[in-house]
Every structure is written in C-alpha cells, then in structure tokens.
Amino acid sequence: MARALSSPSPLHLELSHLHLHLTSSFLISISRSYELQARSLHKAHQAYALGHNFRGHTLETAKPIGSPIPVAIYPTLSVFTLAIGLVITAFFFIYEATSSRKNRSLGMELASATVASVFLGFGSLFLLLASGVYV
C-alpha cells in the first residue's frame, strides 16, 4: 500500500518560501555585522600602526601623568606633617589628662583629633612615597 506523493499545497510552498527568505535575511545581517566589525578593527589597527590612539591624538603628544608635588620634597613634607600631627596628638592627650570631665569640650576634642589625624595621615602618605612605596 504505497501512498502516492501529492504535490505540495500552496500554503506549504508559501511557508517554505518565507522560511528561506527569513534565513537568508538573517545570514545577510550577520555577514554585514561581521563586515562592520572587521572594518572597525582594520581602522583601529591602521591607527595603531600610524602611532595614533583612538581619539585621534598621536601617541607622541600624550603627556605623562605626574605628581603635582615634586618628588624631591616628599621627605621634607613627611617629616613636617608627621611632626605637626604628633604635636597635636600630644596636645590632645595632655588636654584629656589635665582637664576634668566638667571642663572638657566635645568640640575641642573633635577638632584636635580631626586635625591630628589629617596631618598624621598625610605624613604617613608622604613617608611611604618618599621611601618608594607608591600608593
């Protein structure tokens, strides 16, 4: 009982034509995107070969990033800022030890502690920079 092959219906032909059209459109869009990527990579490679970065500036004109403070004065800055911070810290401890609880001022304590911590922090930073530990 062999079944006779019938001709495809018009709907079946239309669906297969639509499937073929969508598949070819998808493949064309993929090939276009790869072509655009290849063009941009080629342009980037040409710019790099010519010595340009990607913003149009030449690499020779780029300025190096440097410290706003000369490296030669790092040791001096570390000594002075650490000394100031230690003096203010000593003042804070003397103030706490010599004043009674009723005479203490919270504003004075916070101000001296804040100023001391800022000076000690910058002093530590410049000490590390002066010794070659770039943080």
- Mean pLDDT for all residues in the chain: 82
Whether the CB-CB separation of 77 and 120 falls below 8 Å is answered with no
pLDDT range class, residue 39, cuts 50, 70, 90: confident
Give the per-residue pLDDT at 89.
98
Query: In the predicted model, is pLDDT for residue 40 greater than 80?
Result: no
Q: What are phi and psi of 58, to 5 degrees?
A: -75, 155
Give the per-residue pLDDT at 122.
98
Residue given tokens 């410290």 in the structure block:
67
Residue 129 one-letter amino acid:
L
Query: In the predicted model, is pLDDT for residue 29 greater than 80?
Result: no
Every domain of the chain and the residues it spans: 10-61, 71-130
For residue 8, the Cα-to-chain-centroid distance in whole angstroms is 62
In terms of pLDDT, which residue wins out, 43 or 15? 43
Cα first-last separation, the chain: 87
d(CA 21, CA 15) in angstroms, rounded, equals 10
pLDDT range class, residue 65, cuts 50, 70, 90: confident
Give the per-residue pLDDT at 37.
73
Tokens of 22: 């969508």
Query: In the predicted model, is pLDDT for residue 58 greater than 90?
Result: no
